[in-house]
């Protein structure tokens, strides 16, 4: 059973605030999410569509935001 569909999720601009809120919820719940699911979330986050196409050091920056919330 696949946890995440294999296509890039795109959203209209008016839903960006909802996507940010879901992201904040994931960050808050991170320590309670099984490692396997955390890895899937990171993989999807690295491939997600965004207006900023190229973000330098994206994997490191994603990990840093999680650490900053939970350290």
Q: How many CA atoms lie within 13 A of 42 on its CB side?
A: 17
Query: For 17-65, what is each residue's pLDDT tens digit?
Result: 999 999 999 999 999 999 999 999 999 888 888 877 788 898 999 999 9
pTM: 0.77
Q: Say if residue 3's pLDDT is above 70.
A: no
The candidate with the shortest Cα–Cα distance to 69, out of 40, 43, 33, is 33
Contact present, 17 and 56 (Cβ < 8 Å): no
């Amino acid at each position: 059973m696949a946890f995440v569909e294999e296509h890039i999720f795109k959203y209209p601009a008016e839903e960006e605030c909802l996507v940010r809120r879901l992201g904040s919820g994931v960050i808050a719940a991170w320590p309670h999410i099984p490692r396997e699911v955390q890895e899937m979330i990171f993989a999807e986050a690295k491939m997600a569509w965004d207006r900023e196409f190229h973000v330098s050091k994206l994997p490191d920056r994603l990990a840093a935001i999680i650490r900053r919330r939970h350290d």
